Chains A and B, each alone.
Chain A
Amino acid sequence: AQSVTQLGSHVSVSEGALVLLRCNYSSSVPPYLFWYVQYPNQGLQLLLKYTTGATLVKGINGFEAEFKKSETSFHLTKPSAHMSDAAEYFCAVTGAYYGGATNKLIFGTGTLLAVQP
């Protein structure tokens, strides 16, 4: 079974400041991890994903995340926030299943990012 915990339902940063959104996961199998962004009245857009290989993953819009197995974490960062980054961010996990099992995504509760001018 998998689960995801996002610490902080609301995060506020100043424009130009570091963005750090926290995600911890639990998985009984090797995890695949994702970050999605949702702008108001829109669907979810994939920011980045970790499957295997390099643990530092770069995504769109300058975001990146690092998979830390020892800490069961997959925190999302961006060096410098922009006003357009204001949105809700969801961390999600699925398992590296083989042989026909489902690969449904389990989502965290989301973090609403506000960017102050």
Chain B
Amino acid sequence: DSGVTQTPKHLITATGQRVTLRCSPRSGDLSVYWYQQSLDQGLQFLIQYYNGEERAKGNILERFSAQQFPDLHSELNLSSLELGDSALYFCASSAAGGGIDYGYTFGSGTRLTVV
């Protein structure tokens, strides 16, 4: 157990639907990062939150959004789902938001299948 909890582990949904993925960071970590892993795109950085504020944005589609709540858990919302959104979505956390950092701790991921 890495200390980063992601739910659900698996999600199957239809095209056009909306889903929410949840991540609880490791205790004491202030930063949460979301990554998408697919066979054709590899590991793509989506977005980072630090202590409730958006810190960096990567290759995140406009149909996707995220937030980090006061208790530091984060949610990734995916809407108007397409077949191509099927992927493994990882959350990671780290103690720092900027400056020197020494790597993340990853959760075990949510496997999203859009049918």
Specify which of B33, B56, B94, B98 is in contact with A98 (CB 8 Å cutoff): B98
Q: Which of A63-108 contact B (CB under 8 A)?
A: 90, 94, 96-108
How many positions in chain B have a CB within 8 Å of any CB in the partner chain?
Answer: 28
Q: Is the CB of B42 within 8 A of A105?
A: no
- The residue among B4, B99, B103 with the most chain A CB atoms within 10 A of its own CB is B103
Q: Is the CB of A99 within 8 A of B90?
A: no
- Does B74 make an interface contact (CB < 8 A)? no
How distant is the Cα of A45 from the Cα of B33 in the complex, in angstroms?
15
How distant is the Cα of A109 from the Cα of B2 in the complex, in angstroms?
23
Specify which of A32, A97, A104 is in contact with B33 (CB 8 Å cutoff): A104
Interface string of B41-66 (1 = CB under 8 A from A): 01101001000000110100000000
How distant is the Cα of A90 from the Cα of B2 in the complex, in angstroms?
18
What is the minimal beta-carbon distance from B57 to any residue of chain A, in angstroms? 9
Q: Is the CB of A98 within 8 A of B106?
A: no
Q: Is the CB of B58 within 8 A of A104?
A: yes
How many positions in chain A have a CB within 8 Å of any CB in the partner chain?
Answer: 27
Specify which of B58, B99, B108 is in contact with A100 (CB 8 Å cutoff): B99
How distant is the Cα of A106 from the Cα of B33 in the complex, in angstroms?
12
Q: Which of A35-57 contact B (CB under 8 A)?
A: 36, 42-46, 49, 51
Q: Determine the chain B residues whose CB is within 8 A of the CB of A42 once the complex forms.
A: 108
- Does A25 make an interface contact (CB < 8 A)? no
* A43-B2, A43-B109 as given contacts; A34 in contact with B103, CB under 8 Å: yes
Chain A interface (Cβ < 8 Å from any Cβ of B) = 32, 34, 36, 42-46, 49, 51, 90, 94, 96-110
7 A-B pairs in the complex with CB atoms less than 8 angstroms apart: A44-B90, A97-B99, A101-B98, A104-B56, A107-B45, A108-B42, A110-B42
